Amino acid sequence: MKKKILIVLAIVFVIIQFFRIDKTVPSYDMSKDLIVMTQPSPEVERILRIACYDCHSYETAYPFYTNIAPFSWWIKGHINEGRAELNYSTWGDFPVKKLGHMIDESSEKVIEKKMPLTPYWMLHWDAKLTEEERKTLGDWFKTLEQ
């Protein structure tokens, strides 16, 4: 009985590999990207790219494990959710009123260790921000309010 269950599970696992996630990048105006528009210091840009841009921009890097279902579906769900919440690639499209809120939220979530999410930095060790990096990024976001 156990052997039959394992065979069925193996077959299901193989079949679900044919249901791939969409990794296409929609066309967008790169001049409206947060980094392009704000020209942060190299340190802030580095932090943004390693800790934020995979889920909150169209510059997502898809590592090998994003080719393995159902894990890939879970990751794509996080990416879609992150982009829906805040997409730095479309920063210039936000109304000024909403930008203030997005800046506050970005700063707050970084400083309060709500971002990047734990599952993300557990797979991307360089995205586990130090207190200094959190302060640097949080303080930088606050400068955008002016």
Of 112, 105, 60, 114, which is closest to residue 83 (Cα–Cα)?
Answer: 60
| Average pLDDT over every residue of 87-104 | 92
Task: For residue range 42-59, list pLDDT tens digits in order.
Answer: 999 999 999 999 999 999
Q: Answer yes or no: pTM beyond 0.95.
A: no
What phi-psi label fits residue 94: left (phi over 0), alpha (psi between -120 and 50 degrees) or beta? beta
| Average pLDDT over every residue of 66-95 | 94
Map out the domains of the chain as residue ranges.
2-143
Average pLDDT, the chain: 93
**What is each CA distance from 59 to 23, 27, 97, 146, in whole angstroms?**
11, 12, 25, 27
Residue 146: is its pLDDT beyond 70?
no
